[in-house]
Structure formats: C-alpha cells, structure tokens
Chain A
Amino acid sequence: MPSTLNIFLATILTHNIALTYILGMCPIIGVSKNISTAVGMGVSVVFVITVTSLINWPIYHLILVPTGSEVLALLVFILTIAASVQLLEMLLEKFLPTLYMAFGIFLPLITVNCTVLAVSLFMVLREYNLTQTAVFSLGSSLGWLLAILLVSGIREKLNLVGDVPRGLQGAGIVMIILGTLALGFMGFSGMVDL
C-alpha cells in the first residue's frame, strides 16, 4: 500500500487526472478562456470532489458491500453527486451569498464533469481506505485545478499574439496545448509510484 504522501504527489504530478487519464476535458475546453473563470471552476471542482468522495466511501463500504449490491455502485454514486451538488448550491445561496455569486454558475456544470465520478470509481477500484480516499480525492482535484490553470494561462498569452488559424481556434488549439502539457508531465513519470 502506498503512503499518503506518495498518493498525493502521484495524483498531482505523475498520474494527473486531466493530463494522464484525460478526464474532465469538456470544462477544460469550455471554460478556460481566462484565468479568473478557470480558478472559479477549478476551486468548485476541488471542493465537490473532496466532499462527494468522502460521502461515497461510507456509502459503498457500509451499505453496498454488506448487502452485496456493488452492481448498483454507479447509480448510487451519480445520485449522491447530483444530490450533494444541489445541496451545496442551496447552502451557498442561503449562507454565503458572495461566494455563491462567484462560484454558483459552475456548480450545475460539475454534475456532468467526469472527474467527479471517476475519482469515486478509482477509489473503489484501488481499494483505498478512508484516509487514502481523502488524500487521493484532494490530490486529484488539485491536479485538475493545476491543469486548467496552466491551459488558461497559455490561452491568455496566445490571445495576445492572436495568430491562430481559423479552423484551429477554440477546441483545436486547446488540444494542442493539452498535448504539449501532457508530454511535459510525462517527464515526471518514475518520480513516485501509485
């Protein structure tokens, strides 16, 4: 079993969820036009992933495994995610309206962000305990935040140059940026193991 520090470093650098597993691409392409929206999206994702995986772990190990209904895991996970995102949105709106004004628009989008479900699934596949799950989910989401920040920073600088061919604008150039970043992150491989 890998130590918690290993998991944390590996999920950010060597096994980055966006650049190695290619997850959560829709928001990276959709909301990476400038750094401020990218930060908003990224921070909301960090929060939602950490909360939902900490809810999903007890549900899976205390309810689904004893009753022998692991098949339903997918259905239960996605419902938990949808419900907790909804709850989070209502709580924020009620108690922290300023934060809601800043991050509220990103929350409904997160339900269909594949990173959230993927972290819960990886947690089951790799048989993590509760502490490891907490570290793993925090690390993965921070890694995703790092990826979207890098992409949006590069995109802002590219817009200053403004010489992208018409057919390549938007999705095309983001894929090339992501490919270059993924190539760079491959240099970390071998540093820590999962």
Chain B
Amino acid sequence: MTKFIYRLIYTKPFALLKDGLWKNNPIITTVLGICSALAVTNKVENGIAMGLAVTFVVMASSAITAAIRNLIPQRIRMVTYMLIISTFVISVDLFMKGYVPDISRALGPYVALIITNCIVMGRAEAFASKSSVKFSILDAMSHGLGYTFVLLAISSIREFLAFGTIMNINIAGNSWTNWVVMSSAPGGFFVLAPIVWAVRSLQQDVDVEIEQHLPAPIKPATTIAATKPGASL
C-alpha cells in the first residue's frame, strides 16, 4: 500500500497538481490575479462563478497554446496569447449573460477582466508554451482549482461576517449583527492577509522540516582523507 502511494506521489501529474494547489498557489504564493479574488468575493456564489470561469479560461487557452506552440513566432507570442485568451473570455461572458444573468450582473466588468488576470497569461507563458497538450491542461486545471479554492475560502468568511449567511442560507441566527465593512473593499484585504500569512508560515515550516529530516550529506572518502587533522578547527 505504501509502495503504491509512493508510486502515485512521484508521478508528474501529482507533482503538477500539488504545484498549483499548494506549492505555487496562484493567489497565496505567487500573488497573481488577486484583483478579481478580492473584488468579487463578497458572496460565495460570486466567488464560485468567478473561480470556475477562470479555471475554464485558463484550461482552454493553455490547451490551444500548447497545441500550436511550435507555430507561434517568438516575437509576437504575447499578442497571440492575448487573442486566444480574449476569445475564451468573450465566450464565458456571453455564456454567463445568457444562463446566469444575476451572477453576471453582480460580477460586472470583472468577468471581462479575466483577460488581464496574470494567472492565465502566466500559465500560457511559463508552462503551456513548452509542454504537451495533456500536461498543459492538467497544469492549468490545478492552478485554476487552486485559485477557486482560495476564492471559496475568502468568500465564505466574508459572506458569513457581512451577512450572516453562506450561499444565501441564514446560519448565524436572528441576533447576528451584519459587519458591513466585510462586504466592501477593505474586508477583502483584511481577510486575505491572514490567510496569506498562515499559509506562507506553514509552507516555511514544511520547508524547514524537510531540510532537517534529510539524511546528512556523506562526504566522499577522498575529501576526508585529504583534510589535514586539525585544519578544520
């Protein structure tokens, strides 16, 4: 069983998933695309809609970029990525306007601003432009889900504090006093900052722990023989 787990952990897909969800989480570690993460997360439904929209756009644009990566001239690659991305953003925008008009109205121009969300561009440039389609989709999915998962955390805290509800279901009871600031801009900053602090501290602890538990580097016999006695003191 442990052997099976080890074989699973040391595969490329697992490494890609871990990279996006935890190690290089787009919002917490690399701090990309936090404009939308803060601006639309006053309700859980908006957070989920935004997260899924970004996940779709980043997956689709990474797949296309990876598929045509050998045809894109080096000098105009940025503009090419932008064209690919904006095509998908326009389709997501139209889809939302057609099927979920309420959420579309709540998100406003922030759906269109997915184009300039650095996560999408960053994945196209850093990963999809040099990898196969299969791994690009997986990588894009892990980063998109990492983004969605942080959005979900922020928006549930904010919605609970600001309205006493989660997904519009009242869970705080009638004596709850709404903390209105949480639903506007400062609330977003104040909720995300402790999350970033906590996760970064945890990640540093993990790094230190791994360093401590590594087996001591064994010096080659020659260097030990070559050092003169007393020289190291």
Query: Which residue numbers of A lie inside 8 Å of B, CB to CB?
Result: 19-26, 29-30, 71-72, 74-75, 78-79, 82, 111-114, 116-118, 121-122, 125, 165-168, 170-173, 175-176, 178-180, 182-183, 186
- 9 A-B residue contacts at CB 8 Å? A25-B38, A30-B31, A118-B109, A168-B197, A172-B193, A182-B185, A182-B189, A183-B181, A186-B185
Chain B residue, CB-CB nearest to A121: B109
Chain B residue, CB-CB nearest to A178: B189
B116 x A74 contact (CB < 8 A): no
Chain B residues positioned under 8 Å from A166 (CB to CB): 200-201, 204
CA distance A127 to B35 in the complex (A): 24
Give the distance to chain B from A187, nearest Cβ to Cβ, in Å. Answer: 11
Chain A residue, CB-CB nearest to B200: A167
B116 x A113 contact (CB < 8 A): yes
Give the distance to chain A from B54, nearest Cβ to Cβ, in Å. Answer: 13
- Give a binary string over B115-129; 1 marks a CB under 8 Å from any A CB, 0 the rest: 111100100000000
CA distance A29 to B121 in the complex (A): 18
Q: With A26-B32, A112-B118, A118-B113 as known contacts, state yes or no: A186 contacts B204, CB within 8 Å.
A: no
Chain A residue, CB-CB nearest to B122: A112
Binds A, one of B55-63, B84-92, B134-142, B161-169: B84-92
Residue B146 at the chain A interface, CB threshold 8 Å:
no
Give the distance to chain A from B154, nearest Cβ to Cβ, in Å. Answer: 11
5 tightest Cβ-Cβ pairs between the two chains A and B = A179-B189, A167-B201, A167-B200, A175-B193, A114-B116
- Interface residue count for B (Cβ, 8 Å)? 43
Chain A residues positioned under 8 Å from B112 (CB to CB): 74, 117, 121
Chain B residues positioned under 8 Å from A74 (CB to CB): 86, 89-90, 93, 112, 115
Q: With A75-B87, A182-B189 as known contacts, state yes or no: A23 contacts B39, CB within 8 Å.
A: yes
Give the distance to chain A from B169, nearest Cβ to Cβ, in Å. Answer: 27
Residue B176 at the chain A interface, CB threshold 8 Å:
no
CA distance A91 to B163 in the complex (A): 52
Candidates A29, A78, A165; contact of B31 at CB < 8 Å: A29
Give the distance to chain A from B192, nearest Cβ to Cβ, in Å. Answer: 6
The majority secondary structure among interface residues of chain A is helix
Candidates B32, B82, B83, B189; contact of A176 at CB < 8 Å: B189
Residue B178 at the chain A interface, CB threshold 8 Å:
no
Chain B residues positioned under 8 Å from A26 (CB to CB): 31-35, 118
Candidates A19, A82, A165, A182; contact of B197 at CB < 8 Å: A165
B115 x A176 contact (CB < 8 A): no
CA distance A29 to B187 in the complex (A): 18
Residue B198 at the chain A interface, CB threshold 8 Å:
yes
Residue B190 at the chain A interface, CB threshold 8 Å:
yes
B188 x A22 contact (CB < 8 A): yes
Chain A residues positioned under 8 Å from B15 (CB to CB): none
B192 x A23 contact (CB < 8 A): no
Q: With A29-B31, A168-B197 as known contacts, state yes or no: A186 contacts B109, CB within 8 Å.
A: no
Give the distance to chain B from A78, nearest Cβ to Cβ, in Å. Answer: 5
CA distance A122 to B109 in the complex (A): 8
Chain B residues positioned under 8 Å from A21 (CB to CB): 39, 185
Give the distance to chain A from B21, nearest Cβ to Cβ, in Å. Answer: 18
Chain B residues positioned under 8 Å from A179 (CB to CB): 185-190, 193
Candidates A78, A111, A171, A186; contact of B184 at CB < 8 Å: A186
Candidates B33, B90, B116; contact of A117 at CB < 8 Å: B116
Chain A residue, CB-CB nearest to B181: A183
- Give a binary string over B187-217; 1 marks a CB under 8 Å from any A CB, 0 the rest: 1111011001111110010000000000000
Q: With A113-B116, A167-B197, A178-B189 as known contacts, state yes or no: A71 contacts B94, CB within 8 Å.
A: yes
